[in-house]
């Protein structure tokens, strides 16, 4: 009888206690260790740039995935698809999360075409895809404020996207096993989006969820 009771409690422990321990371990790990490093203290704002929707967009107060498409939109089509499939669809429901693509003025119709292609056959709400437009000089100036080790091509474009937090700080990795400091993520590489960017977006969203819970807890006291 004692042996059967022991087995019963062992099974209950495995079913209920072990998952709780695992949850507390990971929750504690995120709270104490997982902070996506700040690589640039402040990037320039975009709230005066023209937009596809006609209403201004901004980095302040939002978690933004930012890409520079310039006038090289044909080359960015495949990158947009990768980003939409691997990152956007997984995280777009987070309230203050947005994708902001920096595009050269005059490319509005081409942007609409790409957005329509991304929407085909997808039930996903695409409203978190934002586009802002400026001339080449303005795009290059904005990009310079990111202070990264990557560069734009002659069409003010590249395949890299960056994570900007609510305080307009550029986040990334300062101890990446391959490159050391990782300022952004190559959207032409599905492997990099899967292995690195997905994890880093999870970290920064978890960071802000914990901050929100802490603020709500403090208000309740």
User: What are the per-10-residue average pLDDT scores of the chain (221 residues)?
Assistant: 57 54 43 77 98 94 98 95 95 94 97 92 82 98 98 97 98 96 98 97 92 60 50
Domain boundaries along the sequence of the chain: 1-33, 38-220
For residue 43, the model assigns a pLDDT of: 98
- pLDDT value, residue 53: 85
CA–CA distance, 131 with 129 (Å, rounded to integer): 7
Give the integer Cα–Cα distance in Å for 83 and 190.
8
Residues 6+ apart with CB under 8 A from 205: 63, 91, 94, 97
Beta bridge mates, 133: 50, 103
Tell the burial category of 55 from Cβ atoms under 10 Å away from its Cβ (0-12, 13-18, 19+): exposed
> For residue 196, what pLDDT is reported?
97
User: What pLDDT, on the 0 to 100 scale, is given for residue 21?
Assistant: 43
**pLDDT on residue 125:** 87
Cα 178 → chain centroid:
20
Q: How many helices (H) and strands (E) does the chain have?
A: 8, 10
Nearest-angstrom CA–CA distance, 88 and 128: 8
CB 40 within 8 A of CB 143: no
Contact between 39 and 174 (Cβ < 8 Å): yes
pLDDT at 141: 98
- Position 219 scores a pLDDT of 52
Q: Would you say the pTM of this structure is higher than 0.75?
A: yes
What does each C-alpha distance from 221 to 83, 132, 209 come to in angstroms? Answer: 41, 42, 19
pLDDT of residue 210: 83
**Sign of torsion, CA 72 77 79 80?**
positive
Q: Which residues contact 169 (CB under 8 A, 6 or more apart)?
A: 38, 40, 41, 42, 43
Per CATH, the homologous superfamily of domain 38-220 is: Glutaredoxin (3.40.30.10)
């Amino acid at each position: 009888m004692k042996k059967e009771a022991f087995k019963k409690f062992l099974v209950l422990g495995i079913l209920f206690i072990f998952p709780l321990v695992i949850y507390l371990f990971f929750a504690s790990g995120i709270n104490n260790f997982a902070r996506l490093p700040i690589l640039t203290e402040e990037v320039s704002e975009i709230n005066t740039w023209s937009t596809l929707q006609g209403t201004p967009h901004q980095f302040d107060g939002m978690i933004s995935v930012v890409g520079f498409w310039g006038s090289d939109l044909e080359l960015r089509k495949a990158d947009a698809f990768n980003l939409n499939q691997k990152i956007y669809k997984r995280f777009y429901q987070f309230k203050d999360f947005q994708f902001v693509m920096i595009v050269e003025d005059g490319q509005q119709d081409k942007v609409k075409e790409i957005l329509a292609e991304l929407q085909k056959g997808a039930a996903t709400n695409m409203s978190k895809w934002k586009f802002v437009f400026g001339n080449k000089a303005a795009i290059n100036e904005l990009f310079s404020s990111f202070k990264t080790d990557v560069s734009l091509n002659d069409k003010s474009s590249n395949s890299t996207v960056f994570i900007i937090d609510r305080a307009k700080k550029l986040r990334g990795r300062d101890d990446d096993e391959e490159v050391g400091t990782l300022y952004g993520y190559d959207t032409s590489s599905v492997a990099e989006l899967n292995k690195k960017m997905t994890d880093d977006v999870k970290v920064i969203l978890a960071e802000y969820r914990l901050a929100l819970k802490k603020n709500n807890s403090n208000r309740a006291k």
